[in-house]
Amino acid sequence: MTDYAVGDIQGCYERLQDLVDKAGFSPSRDRLWFAGDLINRGPSSLAALRYAEGLGDSARVVLGNHDLHLLAVALGGHKLRRKDTLQSILDAPDCDHLLHWLRQQRLCIHDAGRNLLVAHAGVPHIWGVEKAMACAREVEAVIQGPDAEDYFRQMYGNEPACWRDDLSGMERWRAITNYFTRMRFIAEDGTLELSAKESADKAPEGYAPWFRFPRPDSTRVVFGHWAALVGQTGSDQFIGLDTGCVWGNELTLMNLDTGETIACDCS
């Protein structure tokens, strides 16, 4: 069995099929880890979501900001944005089933055997593995539970910008969500800067890319989200898999054991 991880698909279903064919991926013997943002902006969001759901136990998925956006539209009353390509999912006869499946997915996965964390935007240096997983489980329980609609109504926002252990309720859940699904630049004390989306060398004053701060442990972190990096972090500990497929660059697959990468052109 081979475990592969793939970066942000964002509805580029045909390119995903090209990539798994190129890798020789077979769900009967292999597993595919999705680093979030399965959907949105690309041309085939419904097909991409159905494919991931259809893999069953051969898929491991963390939620990205675009995946949460679909749930915020469907459950929280938010409107679709001009560039969204999510209407096909909302109109699909299996929409409710797909949304239920999406709500069961994770914000962060810890593979202790590989000394590995997988989260869409990354894991901040202020959280060790135990803290990160506790925070993830807390918000996952809300997304899966009876308070989900209220959570999605209030999910959006940049505050609080910095983690505190005494945060509670929606402020606490929003902060956790932003670290796992929106983080790019961060200050040493853990304060997020969520407006800047440029490359790593264009950090706002007082901030740096989150992976430039040393972690309190040796755990590797696999993430997506930051297409401007084109997968380059300058560190073997932090592995970026968003190589900008939806922007006409590449979709990248990585063997989680060997580190070998396979890419397909998305131009």
- Render pLDDT for 174-190 as a digit per residue (tens, 0 to 9): 999 999 999 999 999 99
Residue 244, pLDDT > 90, answer: yes
Number of domains in the chain: 1
Q: Is residue 221 part of a domain?
A: yes
State residue 157's pLDDT score. Answer: 97
b/e for 59-98, b at 16 or more Cβ within 10 A?
A: bbbbbbbbbbbbbbbbbbebeeeeebbbebbeebeebeeb
> What is the structure's pLDDT at 60?
98
Give the model's pLDDT for residue 153: 98
Backbone torsion region of residue 58, taken as left when φ is above 0, otherwise alpha when ψ lies between -120 and 50, otherwise beta: alpha
Residue 200 counted as domain residue: no
**Residue 184 domain-assigned (yes or no):** no
- Identify whether 237 is part of a domain: yes
Region 207-216 average pLDDT: 96
Residue 17 lies in a domain: yes
The proportion of the chain whose per-residue pLDDT surpasses 90, expressed as a percent, equals 98
Q: Is residue 176 part of a domain?
A: no
Domain extent, residue 113, equals 3-157+217-265
CATH assignment at residue 125: 3.60.21.10
Contact 200, 127 (CB under 8 A): no
Q: Say if residue 85's pLDDT is above 90.
A: yes
Residue-averaged pLDDT of the chain:
97
**Does any domain span residue 180?**
no
pLDDT at 267: 84
> Residue 156 pLDDT > 90, yes or no?
yes
Is 195 within the bounds of a domain? no
Average the pLDDT over 196-220 and give the result.
Answer: 95
Query: Sign of the CA dihedral 71, 74, 78, 82?
Result: positive
Q: Could you give the CA distance from residue 250 to residue 227 in angstroms, rounded to a whole number?
A: 10
Count CB atoms within 10 A of the CB of residue 193: 18
Helix (H, G, I), strand (E, B) or coil at 154: helix
pLDDT bin (cut points 50, 70, 90) of residue 137 is very high
User: What is the rounded distance in angstroms from the CA atom of residue 224 to the CA atom of residue 129?
Assistant: 18
Give the model confidence (pLDDT) of 11-43 as tens digits. 999 999 999 999 999 999 999 999 999 999 999
Q: Does the pLDDT of residue 166 top 90, yes or no?
A: yes
As a whole number of angstroms, the distance between CA 184 and CA 122 comes to 8
Mean pLDDT of 154-158: 97
Say how far apart CA 77 and CA 257 lie, in whole Å: 41
